[in-house]
């Protein structure tokens, strides 16, 4: 079963990062499937250099002959050749957040990589050096709370970069996927990430409300087009709120 899951994950990641019209439509579903697998898989597959310390790995439970019968490559690093290791994936997301790039430039990072990491990191943080100090030097993962906070911070930056953009339903999906990592967020993130983001939303709310008030003062016969524009702005604003408030509420509940 583990060997099959390895192959399924590799196939989903490869397909999800491919650019073609069919994948564009199915990418959210592929990302959700990969996220579920990442949350349940018993091997820290993004950290193959530590696989020798994982007692559940097929590379440690099977003899070389048994692995050959199963068709496994000689090295565990060759099991998922298309999936980059953890440090490269974290850098990719950090670069995306810092560059201010939009969703259309790297949809596979937002729909495939982020959901996967949002489930992978919490699972292996629980088994990492911070929670199992007795395994120091023998741990099968190096995931720490710093990884989770870094990922959440980058998610917040990505959301901020896309505030007010039409056709961004992925933002609400991202808020759902990010829930597992919010519970490990440091209190300092309130000042560095959450409050600045809420301030930007507050200004946008004020702007849209002011436009609506100004519209009421105009002649009704001349306002149909303006009403449609304001309606669209309110729709986008609601979507942005639905993307951010689930993260904020969970964060506040965990840091009261």
Confidence at residue 211, expressed as pLDDT on a 0 to 100 scale: 84
Residue 223 has pLDDT above 70, yes or no: no
Residue 179 has pLDDT above 80, yes or no: yes
Residue 43 has pLDDT above 70, yes or no: yes
Three-state SS sequence of the chain: CHHHHHHHHHHHHHHHCCCCHHHHHHHHHHHHHHHHHHHHCCCCCCCHHHHHHCCCCHHHHCCHHHHHHCCCCCCHHHCCCCCCCHHHHHHHHHHHHHHCCCHHHCHHHHHHHHHHHHHHHHHHHCCCCCCCHHHCCCCCCCCCHHHHHHHHHHHHHHHHHCCCCCCCCHHHHHHHHCHHHHCCCCCCHHHHHHHHHHHHHHHHHHHHHHHHHHHHCCCHHHCHHHHHHHHHHHHHHHHHHHHHHHHHHHHHHHCC
CA triplet 219, 220, 222: central angle to 5 degrees? 70
The confidence band for 103, taking pLDDT boundaries of 50, 70 and 90, is: confident
Confidence at residue 220, expressed as pLDDT on a 0 to 100 scale: 58
Q: Which of 33, 22, 42, 150 is nearest to 94 (CA)?
A: 150
The confidence band for 89, taking pLDDT boundaries of 50, 70 and 90, is: very high
State pLDDT tens for residues 54-74.
Answer: 999 999 999 999 999 999 999
Arithmetic mean of pLDDT, 204-227: 78
Confidence at residue 45, expressed as pLDDT on a 0 to 100 scale: 96
The structure's pTM equals 0.89
State pLDDT tens for residues 152-178.
Answer: 999 999 888 888 887 777 888 888 899
Residue 219 has pLDDT above 70, yes or no: no
Confidence at residue 222, expressed as pLDDT on a 0 to 100 scale: 59
Arithmetic mean of pLDDT, 204-212: 87
Cα dihedral 139→144→160→256 (10° resolution): 140
């Amino acid at each position: 079963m583990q060997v099959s899951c390895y192959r399924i994950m590799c196939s989903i990641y490869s397909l999800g990062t491919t650019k073609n019209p069919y994948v564009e439509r199915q990418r959210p579903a592929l990302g959700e499937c990969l996220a579920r697998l990442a949350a349940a898989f018993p091997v820290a597959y993004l950290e193959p250099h530590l696989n020798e310390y994982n007692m559940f790995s097929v590379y440690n439970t099977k003899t070389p002959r048994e692995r050959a019968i199963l068709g496994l490559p000689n090295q565990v690093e060759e099991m998922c050749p298309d999936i980059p290791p953890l440090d490269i994936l974290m850098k990719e997301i950090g670069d995306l957040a810092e560059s201010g790039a939009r969703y259309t430039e790297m949809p596979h990072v937002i729909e495939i990589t982020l959901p996967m990491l949002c489930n992978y990191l919490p699972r292996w943080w629980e088994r990492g050096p911070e929670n199992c100090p007795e395994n120091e030097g023998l741990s099968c993962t190096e995931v720490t709370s710093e990884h989770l906070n870094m990922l959440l911070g980058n998610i917040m930056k990505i959301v901020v970069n896309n505030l007010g953009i039409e056709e961004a339903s992925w933002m609400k999906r991202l808020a759902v996927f990010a829930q597992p990592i919010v519970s490990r967020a440091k209190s300092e993130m309130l000042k560095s990430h959450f409050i600045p983001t809420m301030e930007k939303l507050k200004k946008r709310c004020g702007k849209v409300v002011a436009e609506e008030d100004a519209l009421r003062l105009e002649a009704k016969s001349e306002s149909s087009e303006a009403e449609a524009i304001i309606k669209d702005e309110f729709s986008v604003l609601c979507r942005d709120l639905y993307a951010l408030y689930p993260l904020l509420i969970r964060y506040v509940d965990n840091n009261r």
